[in-house]
Amino acid sequence: QVQLVESGGGLVQAGGSLRLSCAASGRTFYPMGWFRQAPGKEREFVAAISWSGGSTYYADSGKGRFTISRDNAKNTVYLQMNSLKPEDTAAYYCAASRSFSTDLNEYHNWGQGTQVTVSS
- List for the chain the helix, strand, coil content (%; round to 5): 10, 50, 40
pLDDT tens across 95-104, in order?
999 899 999 9
Percent of the chain with pLDDT over 90: 92
pLDDT of residue 2: 85
Interacting residues of 36 by C-beta distance below 8 A, sequence separation 6+:
43, 44, 46, 88, 90, 91, 92, 93, 116
pLDDT of residue 83: 98
Phi, psi of 86 (to 5 degrees): -55, -35
pLDDT tens across 26-65, in order?
777 899 999 999 999 999 999 999 999 999 999 999 999 9
pLDDT of residue 45: 98
CA dist., res. 67 & res. 78, Å (int): 8
Strand partners of residue 78: 21, 69
Comparing CA positions, the residue from 62, 59, 1, 65 lying closest to residue 27 is 1
